[in-house]
Protein backbone atom coordinates (compact mmCIF):
# COMPACT_ATOMS: atom_id res chain seq x y z
CA UNK A 1 0.00 0.00 0.00
CA UNK A 2 2.77 2.43 0.94
CA UNK A 3 4.68 3.75 -2.07
CA UNK A 4 8.26 5.02 -2.00
CA UNK A 5 9.88 7.04 -4.72
CA UNK A 6 13.35 8.51 -5.05
CA UNK A 7 14.78 11.25 -7.24
CA UNK A 8 18.51 11.81 -7.65
CA UNK A 9 20.52 14.52 -9.30
CA UNK A 10 24.16 15.18 -8.47
CA UNK A 11 24.52 15.78 -4.75
CA UNK A 12 20.76 15.88 -4.13
CA UNK A 13 18.74 12.78 -3.39
CA UNK A 14 15.06 13.02 -2.44
CA UNK A 15 13.06 10.08 -1.08
CA UNK A 16 9.31 10.37 -0.57
CA UNK A 17 6.87 7.97 1.04
CA UNK A 18 3.16 8.17 0.60
CA UNK A 19 -0.12 6.45 -0.15
CA UNK A 20 -2.70 6.94 -2.89
CA UNK A 21 -5.73 9.01 -2.04
CA UNK A 22 -8.54 6.49 -2.57
CA UNK A 23 -11.20 9.16 -2.27
CA UNK A 24 -9.79 10.79 -5.44
CA UNK A 25 -9.51 7.44 -7.22
CA UNK A 26 -5.71 7.29 -7.42
CA UNK A 27 -4.11 4.07 -8.62
CA UNK A 28 -1.65 2.13 -6.47
CA UNK A 29 1.45 3.83 -7.98
CA UNK A 30 0.24 7.37 -7.32
CA UNK A 31 1.12 9.28 -4.18
CA UNK A 32 -1.77 11.48 -3.18
CA UNK A 33 -1.02 11.65 0.54
CA UNK A 34 2.61 12.38 1.39
CA UNK A 35 3.64 10.70 4.63
CA UNK A 36 7.33 11.57 4.88
CA UNK A 37 10.27 12.81 2.86
CA UNK A 38 14.03 12.86 3.21
CA UNK A 39 16.40 15.07 1.25
CA UNK A 40 20.06 14.13 1.33
CA UNK A 41 22.55 16.73 0.18
CA UNK A 42 25.71 14.65 -0.06
CA UNK A 43 28.52 16.19 1.93
CA UNK A 44 26.26 18.86 3.39
CA UNK A 45 23.22 17.68 5.36
CA UNK A 46 20.12 15.48 5.55
CA UNK A 47 16.70 17.14 5.77
CA UNK A 48 13.43 15.58 6.86
CA UNK A 49 9.99 16.91 7.66
CA UNK A 50 6.31 17.09 6.97
CA UNK A 51 4.53 17.68 3.68
CA UNK A 52 4.26 21.44 4.35
CA UNK A 53 8.02 21.67 4.80
CA UNK A 54 8.62 20.02 1.43
CA UNK A 55 6.10 22.32 -0.23
CA UNK A 56 7.88 25.32 1.28
CA UNK A 57 11.30 24.02 0.28
CA UNK A 58 10.17 23.42 -3.31
CA UNK A 59 8.61 26.87 -3.44
CA UNK A 60 11.69 28.65 -2.07
CA UNK A 61 14.31 26.80 -4.12
CA UNK A 62 12.44 26.94 -7.42
CA UNK A 63 11.49 30.59 -6.96
CA UNK A 64 15.12 31.40 -6.22
CA UNK A 65 16.28 29.43 -9.28
CA UNK A 66 13.78 31.35 -11.35
CA UNK A 67 15.28 34.63 -10.14
CA UNK A 68 18.83 33.30 -10.66
CA UNK A 69 18.15 32.50 -14.31
CA UNK A 70 17.17 36.15 -14.74
CA UNK A 71 20.37 37.26 -13.04
CA UNK A 72 18.51 38.69 -10.03
CA UNK A 73 19.25 36.39 -7.09
CA UNK A 74 16.78 37.92 -4.63
CA UNK A 75 16.46 36.80 -1.06
CA UNK A 76 13.44 34.50 -0.91
CA UNK A 77 11.70 32.93 2.06
CA UNK A 78 8.44 31.14 2.71
CA UNK A 79 5.48 32.62 4.56
CA UNK A 80 6.48 31.01 7.86
CA UNK A 81 10.09 32.24 7.53
CA UNK A 82 11.28 28.68 8.11
CA UNK A 83 13.31 28.49 4.90
CA UNK A 84 15.28 31.35 3.48
CA UNK A 85 17.74 31.51 0.59
CA UNK A 86 19.81 34.44 -0.56
CA UNK A 87 22.83 35.11 -2.68
CA UNK A 88 26.14 35.55 -0.86
CA UNK A 89 29.68 35.97 -2.10
CA UNK A 90 30.75 32.70 -3.67
CA UNK A 91 27.42 30.93 -3.45
CA UNK A 92 23.90 30.78 -2.13
CA UNK A 93 23.08 30.74 1.58
CA UNK A 94 20.22 28.45 2.57
CA UNK A 95 18.93 28.95 6.14
CA UNK A 96 16.58 26.35 7.61
CA UNK A 97 14.82 27.07 10.87
CA UNK A 98 13.68 23.96 12.75
CA UNK A 99 10.16 23.77 14.17
CA UNK A 100 11.58 21.98 17.22
CA UNK A 101 12.62 24.07 20.18
CA UNK A 102 16.26 24.45 21.23
CA UNK A 103 17.49 23.63 17.72
CA UNK A 104 19.75 26.22 16.14
CA UNK A 105 18.96 27.31 12.54
CA UNK A 106 20.93 25.33 9.97
CA UNK A 107 22.94 27.33 7.45
CA UNK A 108 24.14 25.71 4.24
CA UNK A 109 26.25 27.38 1.57
CA UNK A 110 25.55 25.99 -1.88
CA UNK A 111 27.67 26.73 -4.93
CA UNK A 112 26.12 27.17 -8.38
CA UNK A 113 26.53 23.49 -9.24
CA UNK A 114 24.88 22.34 -6.01
CA UNK A 115 22.01 24.78 -6.48
CA UNK A 116 21.49 23.41 -10.00
CA UNK A 117 21.51 19.84 -8.67
CA UNK A 118 18.96 20.66 -5.99
CA UNK A 119 16.78 22.52 -8.49
CA UNK A 120 16.85 19.64 -10.96
CA UNK A 121 16.09 17.13 -8.22
CA UNK A 122 13.06 19.13 -7.09
CA UNK A 123 12.02 19.58 -10.74
CA UNK A 124 11.86 15.80 -11.04
CA UNK A 125 9.30 15.42 -8.26
CA UNK A 126 7.39 18.42 -9.57
CA UNK A 127 7.04 16.89 -13.03
CA UNK A 128 6.42 13.35 -11.87
CA UNK A 129 2.86 12.49 -12.89
CA UNK A 130 2.61 9.86 -10.17
CA UNK A 131 2.83 12.55 -7.47
CA UNK A 132 -0.65 14.05 -7.23
CA UNK A 133 0.16 17.07 -5.11
CA UNK A 134 -0.60 20.68 -5.93
CA UNK A 135 2.64 22.62 -5.84
CA UNK A 136 2.67 26.35 -5.40
CA UNK A 137 5.52 27.31 -7.69
CA UNK A 138 5.80 30.44 -9.86
CA UNK A 139 7.85 28.53 -12.41
CA UNK A 140 6.79 30.27 -15.59
CA UNK A 141 6.00 33.71 -14.29
CA UNK A 142 7.84 36.47 -16.18
CA UNK A 143 9.35 39.28 -14.15
CA UNK A 144 8.26 42.86 -14.61
CA UNK A 145 10.59 45.30 -16.38
CA UNK A 146 10.95 47.43 -13.25
CA UNK A 147 13.01 44.66 -11.64
CA UNK A 148 15.71 45.10 -14.26
CA UNK A 149 15.77 48.82 -14.72
CA UNK A 150 16.17 50.66 -11.46
CA UNK A 151 15.42 54.35 -11.76
CA UNK A 152 16.90 56.10 -8.73
CA UNK A 153 16.87 59.89 -8.45
CA UNK A 154 20.18 61.33 -9.66
CA UNK A 155 20.83 64.98 -8.92
CA UNK A 156 23.58 65.17 -11.55
CA UNK A 157 21.04 64.30 -14.22
CA UNK A 158 18.93 67.39 -13.60
CA UNK A 159 21.77 69.91 -13.03
CA UNK A 160 22.26 70.74 -16.75
CA UNK A 161 18.58 71.39 -17.57
CA UNK A 162 18.19 73.40 -14.37
CA UNK A 163 21.20 75.60 -15.24
CA UNK A 164 19.86 76.07 -18.80
CA UNK A 165 16.38 77.07 -17.69
CA UNK A 166 17.80 79.43 -15.03
CA UNK A 167 20.05 81.17 -17.62
CA UNK A 168 17.08 81.63 -19.97
CA UNK A 169 14.91 83.09 -17.20
CA UNK A 170 17.62 85.48 -15.99
CA UNK A 171 18.42 86.68 -19.52
CA UNK A 172 14.73 87.22 -20.30
CA UNK A 173 14.21 89.09 -17.05
CA UNK A 174 17.20 91.36 -17.65
CA UNK A 175 16.20 92.23 -21.23
CA UNK A 176 12.58 92.90 -20.27
CA UNK A 177 13.65 95.27 -17.52
CA UNK A 178 16.21 97.28 -19.52
CA UNK A 179 15.41 101.03 -19.45
CA UNK A 180 14.42 102.51 -22.82
CA UNK A 181 16.87 105.21 -24.03
CA UNK A 182 14.98 108.21 -25.57
CA UNK A 183 17.53 110.31 -27.47
CA UNK A 184 16.82 113.94 -28.50
CA UNK A 185 15.95 114.29 -32.22
CA UNK A 186 18.69 115.55 -34.56
CA UNK A 187 18.10 118.78 -36.59
CA UNK A 188 17.40 116.78 -39.75
CA UNK A 189 14.83 114.58 -38.03
CA UNK A 190 13.20 117.68 -36.56
CA UNK A 191 12.89 119.23 -40.06
CA UNK A 192 11.35 116.04 -41.50
CA UNK A 193 8.86 115.88 -38.71
CA UNK A 194 7.99 119.53 -39.27
CA UNK A 195 7.52 118.98 -43.04
CA UNK A 196 5.35 115.96 -42.50
CA UNK A 197 3.10 117.95 -40.24
CA UNK A 198 2.80 120.76 -42.78
CA UNK A 199 1.98 118.27 -45.57
CA UNK A 200 -0.75 116.72 -43.51
CA UNK A 201 -2.22 120.19 -42.94
CA UNK A 202 -2.09 120.94 -46.67
CA UNK A 203 -3.85 117.71 -47.48
CA UNK B 1 11.99 39.64 0.57
CA UNK B 2 8.89 37.56 1.12
CA UNK B 3 6.70 36.69 -1.79
CA UNK B 4 3.14 35.59 -1.70
CA UNK B 5 2.83 31.86 -2.14
CA UNK B 6 -0.42 32.11 -4.03
CA UNK B 7 1.14 33.59 -7.16
CA UNK B 8 0.62 30.69 -9.54
CA UNK B 9 -0.73 27.33 -8.60
CA UNK B 10 1.19 24.67 -10.44
CA UNK B 11 -0.96 21.59 -10.69
CA UNK B 12 0.71 18.27 -11.39
CA UNK B 13 -2.11 17.39 -13.75
CA UNK B 14 -1.27 20.36 -16.00
CA UNK B 15 2.29 19.60 -16.89
CA UNK B 16 2.16 20.27 -20.61
CA UNK B 17 5.04 22.18 -22.17
CA UNK B 18 3.43 25.44 -23.10
CA UNK B 19 6.72 27.17 -23.80
CA UNK B 20 5.93 30.68 -24.89
CA UNK B 21 2.53 32.23 -24.40
CA UNK B 22 1.20 33.99 -27.52
CA UNK B 23 0.66 37.14 -25.47
CA UNK B 24 4.38 37.27 -24.74
CA UNK B 25 5.16 37.14 -28.43
CA UNK B 26 3.14 40.26 -29.12
CA UNK B 27 5.44 42.67 -30.86
CA UNK B 28 8.13 40.21 -31.89
CA UNK B 29 10.02 42.69 -34.04
CA UNK B 30 10.85 44.92 -31.12
CA UNK B 31 13.60 45.39 -28.58
CA UNK B 32 12.22 42.42 -26.64
CA UNK B 33 12.55 40.16 -29.64
CA UNK B 34 16.04 41.43 -30.51
CA UNK B 35 17.18 40.97 -26.93
CA UNK B 36 15.81 37.43 -26.79
CA UNK B 37 17.43 36.33 -30.06
CA UNK B 38 20.75 37.82 -28.90
CA UNK B 39 20.43 35.87 -25.66
CA UNK B 40 19.56 32.62 -27.44
CA UNK B 41 22.49 32.94 -29.82
CA UNK B 42 24.89 33.73 -26.99
CA UNK B 43 23.69 30.67 -25.08
CA UNK B 44 24.22 28.56 -28.21
CA UNK B 45 27.75 29.97 -28.43
CA UNK B 46 28.32 29.00 -24.80
CA UNK B 47 27.25 25.45 -25.62
CA UNK B 48 29.60 25.43 -28.58
CA UNK B 49 32.40 26.62 -26.30
CA UNK B 50 31.82 23.56 -24.10
CA UNK B 51 32.41 21.14 -26.94
CA UNK B 52 33.79 21.67 -30.42
CA UNK B 53 31.33 19.19 -31.96
CA UNK B 54 28.21 20.63 -30.33
CA UNK B 55 26.94 22.26 -33.51
CA UNK B 56 26.89 18.87 -35.25
CA UNK B 57 24.39 17.46 -32.76
CA UNK B 58 21.79 20.23 -33.17
CA UNK B 59 20.17 18.38 -36.06
CA UNK B 60 19.90 15.10 -34.11
CA UNK B 61 18.41 16.92 -31.14
CA UNK B 62 15.85 18.57 -33.44
CA UNK B 63 14.92 15.12 -34.75
CA UNK B 64 14.59 13.74 -31.22
CA UNK B 65 12.36 16.62 -30.23
CA UNK B 66 10.21 15.99 -33.32
CA UNK B 67 10.74 19.46 -34.71
CA UNK B 68 12.35 18.31 -37.95
CA UNK B 69 9.64 20.11 -39.91
CA UNK B 70 10.92 23.40 -38.45
CA UNK B 71 14.62 22.56 -38.58
CA UNK B 72 15.11 19.89 -41.27
CA UNK B 73 18.89 20.30 -41.20
CA UNK B 74 21.72 22.11 -39.47
CA UNK B 75 21.61 24.98 -41.97
CA UNK B 76 18.03 25.84 -40.93
CA UNK B 77 19.16 26.17 -37.32
CA UNK B 78 22.14 28.23 -38.38
CA UNK B 79 19.90 30.52 -40.47
CA UNK B 80 17.57 31.07 -37.51
CA UNK B 81 20.52 31.89 -35.28
CA UNK B 82 21.67 34.44 -37.87
CA UNK B 83 18.65 36.61 -36.97
CA UNK B 84 20.84 37.86 -34.14
CA UNK B 85 21.57 41.51 -35.04
CA UNK B 86 24.97 41.27 -33.36
CA UNK B 87 26.21 38.78 -35.97
CA UNK B 88 28.71 39.73 -38.66
CA UNK B 89 26.10 39.14 -41.34
CA UNK B 90 22.65 39.19 -39.69
CA UNK B 91 19.42 38.28 -41.47
CA UNK B 92 16.68 40.87 -41.56
CA UNK B 93 13.76 38.56 -42.32
CA UNK B 94 11.15 37.75 -39.69
CA UNK B 95 11.46 34.72 -37.46
CA UNK B 96 8.48 32.41 -37.03
CA UNK B 97 7.09 31.50 -33.62
CA UNK B 98 7.72 27.81 -34.38
CA UNK B 99 11.41 28.50 -35.04
CA UNK B 100 11.66 30.59 -31.90
CA UNK B 101 10.07 27.90 -29.73
CA UNK B 102 12.17 25.27 -31.47
CA UNK B 103 15.36 27.14 -30.59
CA UNK B 104 14.33 27.24 -26.92
CA UNK B 105 13.55 23.51 -26.97
CA UNK B 106 16.92 22.69 -28.56
CA UNK B 107 18.72 24.93 -26.08
CA UNK B 108 17.07 23.27 -23.10
CA UNK B 109 17.67 19.80 -24.46
CA UNK B 110 21.33 20.54 -25.23
CA UNK B 111 21.78 21.98 -21.73
CA UNK B 112 20.42 18.76 -20.31
CA UNK B 113 22.80 16.75 -22.47
CA UNK B 114 25.80 18.85 -21.47
CA UNK B 115 24.76 19.22 -17.84
CA UNK B 116 27.68 17.16 -16.41
CA UNK B 117 30.16 19.37 -18.26
CA UNK B 118 28.39 22.57 -17.20
CA UNK B 119 28.37 21.29 -13.62
CA UNK B 120 32.11 20.64 -13.75
CA UNK B 121 32.69 24.28 -14.66
CA UNK B 122 30.29 25.66 -12.06
CA UNK B 123 31.46 23.63 -9.08
CA UNK B 124 33.78 25.10 -6.49
CA UNK B 125 34.77 21.65 -5.20
CA UNK B 126 37.63 19.47 -6.43
CA UNK B 127 41.17 20.09 -7.58
CA UNK B 128 41.84 23.79 -8.16
CA UNK B 129 44.38 23.09 -10.90
CA UNK B 130 42.00 20.96 -12.97
CA UNK B 131 39.18 23.41 -12.49
CA UNK B 132 41.25 26.38 -13.58
CA UNK B 133 42.54 24.50 -16.64
CA UNK B 134 39.01 23.61 -17.72
CA UNK B 135 37.78 27.11 -16.98
CA UNK B 136 40.57 28.83 -18.93
CA UNK B 137 39.97 26.57 -21.91
CA UNK B 138 36.25 27.32 -21.87
CA UNK B 139 36.76 31.09 -21.52
CA UNK B 140 39.27 31.17 -24.34
CA UNK B 141 36.98 29.21 -26.64
CA UNK B 142 33.99 31.44 -25.82
CA UNK B 143 36.00 34.58 -26.49
CA UNK B 144 37.20 33.14 -29.80
CA UNK B 145 33.67 32.25 -30.84
CA UNK B 146 32.34 35.71 -29.99
CA UNK B 147 35.17 37.36 -31.96
CA UNK B 148 34.66 34.99 -34.88
CA UNK B 149 30.87 35.17 -35.21
CA UNK B 150 29.90 38.59 -33.89
CA UNK B 151 30.41 42.06 -35.29
CA UNK B 152 33.17 43.28 -32.99
CA UNK B 153 32.60 46.92 -34.00
CA UNK B 154 29.28 46.94 -32.14
CA UNK B 155 29.28 48.35 -28.63
CA UNK B 156 27.48 45.41 -27.03
CA UNK B 157 29.91 42.90 -28.53
CA UNK B 158 32.82 45.00 -27.28
CA UNK B 159 31.16 44.96 -23.86
CA UNK B 160 30.85 41.15 -23.99
CA UNK B 161 34.53 40.84 -24.90
CA UNK B 162 35.61 43.19 -22.12
CA UNK B 163 33.49 41.27 -19.63
CA UNK B 164 34.85 37.89 -20.72
CA UNK B 165 38.43 39.11 -20.44
CA UNK B 166 38.14 41.03 -17.16
CA UNK B 167 36.01 38.81 -14.92
CA UNK B 168 34.41 35.36 -14.71
CA UNK B 169 30.97 36.50 -13.64
CA UNK B 170 29.61 36.88 -17.18
CA UNK B 171 30.62 33.34 -18.20
CA UNK B 172 29.33 31.98 -14.88
CA UNK B 173 25.99 33.68 -15.46
CA UNK B 174 25.72 32.11 -18.92
CA UNK B 175 26.59 28.67 -17.52
CA UNK B 176 24.14 29.04 -14.65
CA UNK B 177 21.38 29.95 -17.13
CA UNK B 178 22.18 26.80 -19.08
CA UNK B 179 22.32 24.64 -15.95
CA UNK B 180 18.96 25.91 -14.74
CA UNK B 181 17.46 25.60 -18.24
CA UNK B 182 17.98 21.86 -18.41
CA UNK B 183 15.17 19.44 -17.81
CA UNK B 184 11.39 19.87 -17.94
CA UNK B 185 11.35 22.62 -15.32
CA UNK B 186 14.29 24.28 -17.01
CA UNK B 187 12.49 24.80 -20.29
CA UNK B 188 9.72 26.67 -18.44
CA UNK B 189 12.24 28.80 -16.57
CA UNK B 190 14.11 29.57 -19.78
CA UNK B 191 11.00 30.42 -21.79
CA UNK B 192 9.69 32.72 -19.09
CA UNK B 193 13.03 34.53 -18.77
CA UNK B 194 14.00 34.66 -22.44
CA UNK B 195 12.72 38.20 -22.97
CA UNK B 196 14.61 39.54 -19.98
CA UNK B 197 17.88 41.41 -20.41
CA UNK B 198 21.09 39.46 -19.95
CA UNK B 199 23.22 42.23 -18.51
pLDDT at A165 over 90: yes
pLDDT at B18 over 80: no
Asked if the structure places residue B99 within a domain, the reply is yes
ipTM above 0.95, yes or no: no
Q: Which residue has the higher pLDDT, A88 or A200?
A: A88
Q: Count CA atoms within 13 Å of residue A30 on its CB side.
A: 14
Note the pLDDT tens digit of each residue in A68-78: 888 877 788 88
pLDDT at B188 over 90: no
The number of distinct structural domains making up chain B is 1
Cα dihedral sign, A134-A140-A145-A151: positive
Max avg pLDDT among A140-144, A158-162, A179-183, A196-200: A158-162
At A113 the three-state DSSP class reads helix
CATH of A3-134 given 2.60.40, 1.10.1760, 2.30.31, 1.10.260: 2.30.31
Please state the rounded mean pLDDT for residues A52-71. Answer: 88
pLDDT at A174 over 90: yes
Asked if the structure places residue B198 within a domain, the reply is no
A residues 144..183 contacting B (CB < 8 A): 148
What pLDDT, on a 0 to 100 scale, did the predictor assign at position B4?
A: 39
Please state the rounded mean pLDDT for residues A175-183. Answer: 78
Asked if the structure places residue B43 within a domain, the reply is yes
Q: Which residue has the higher pLDDT, A73 or B49?
A: B49
Q: How many residues does chain B have?
A: 199
Note the pLDDT tens digit of each residue in A101-153: 778 888 889 888 999 999 999 888 888 888 888 887 766 666 666 665 656 66
Residue B10 pLDDT grade (very low, low, confident, very high; cuts 50, 70, 90): very low
What pLDDT, on a 0 to 100 scale, did the predictor assign at position A29?
A: 80
pLDDT at A169 over 90: yes
Residue B177 pLDDT grade (very low, low, confident, very high; cuts 50, 70, 90): very high
Whole-prediction pTM: 0.77
Are B103 and B80 a contacting pair, CB within 8 Å? yes
Asked if the structure places residue B180 within a domain, the reply is yes
Q: Does B190 touch chain A (CB under 8 A)?
A: yes
Residue B12 pLDDT grade (very low, low, confident, very high; cuts 50, 70, 90): very low
Residue A193 pLDDT grade (very low, low, confident, very high; cuts 50, 70, 90): low
Q: What is the mean pLDDT of chain A?
A: 82
Reference B43, options B107, B121, B91, B88; nearest CA is B107
Q: CA-CA distance, B144 to B162, in Å (whole number)?
A: 13
Residue B43 pLDDT grade (very low, low, confident, very high; cuts 50, 70, 90): very high
Range of the domain at B60: 28-188
Please state the rounded mean pLDDT for residues A14-33. Answer: 83
Q: What is the mean pLDDT of chain B?
A: 80
Interface with B, mutate which of A76, A140, A147, A150 (most B CBs under 10 A): A140
Q: CA-CA distance, A62 to A147, in Å (whole number)?
A: 18
Asked if the structure places residue B71 within a domain, the reply is yes
What pLDDT, on a 0 to 100 scale, did the predictor assign at position B3?
A: 41
Please state the rounded mean pLDDT for residues B163-188. Answer: 87
What pLDDT, on a 0 to 100 scale, did the predictor assign at position A146?
A: 60
Q: Does A75 touch chain B (CB under 8 A)?
A: yes
Please state the rounded mean pLDDT for residues A57-78. Answer: 86
Cβ-Cβ contacts under 8 Å between A and B: the total is 136
Q: Count CA atoms within 13 Å of residue A114 on its CB side.
A: 18
What's the Cα-to-Cα distance from A52 to each of A83, A109, B1, rounded to whole Å? 11, 23, 20
Put simply, the answer to whether A136 touches B12 (Cβ < 8 Å) is no
What pLDDT, on a 0 to 100 scale, did the predictor assign at position B15?
A: 41
Q: CA-CA distance, A190 to A186, in Å (whole number)?
A: 6
Note the pLDDT tens digit of each residue in B106-158: 999 999 999 999 998 988 887 888 888 888 999 999 999 999 998 988 888 88
Residues 6+ apart with CB under 8 A from A2: A17, A18, A19, A35
Query: Which one of A74, A111, A148 has the shortest CB-CB distance to B1?
Result: A74
Q: Which residues, listed in sequence order, are joined to residue A76 by a DSSP beta bridge?
A: A85
Interface with B, mutate which of A42, A116, A147, A148 (most B CBs under 10 A): A116
Q: Which residue has the higher pLDDT, B9 or A89?
A: A89
What's the Cα-to-Cα distance from A107 to each of A96, A104, B24, B59, B126, rounded to whole Å? 6, 9, 38, 45, 22
Amino acid sequence: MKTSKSYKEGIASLEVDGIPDQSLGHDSDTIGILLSWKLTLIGLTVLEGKKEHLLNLVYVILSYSRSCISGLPDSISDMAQSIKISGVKGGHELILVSTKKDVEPLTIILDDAELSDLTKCLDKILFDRSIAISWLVPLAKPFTCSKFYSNPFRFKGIVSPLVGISCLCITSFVYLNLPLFQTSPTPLEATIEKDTYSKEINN
Amino acid sequence: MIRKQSSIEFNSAEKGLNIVKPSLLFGMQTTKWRRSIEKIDLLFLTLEALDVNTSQSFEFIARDLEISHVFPNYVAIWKTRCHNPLRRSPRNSTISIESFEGMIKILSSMSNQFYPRIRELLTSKGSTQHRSERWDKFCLRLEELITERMNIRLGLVKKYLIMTSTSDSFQKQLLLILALSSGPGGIKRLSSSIFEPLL
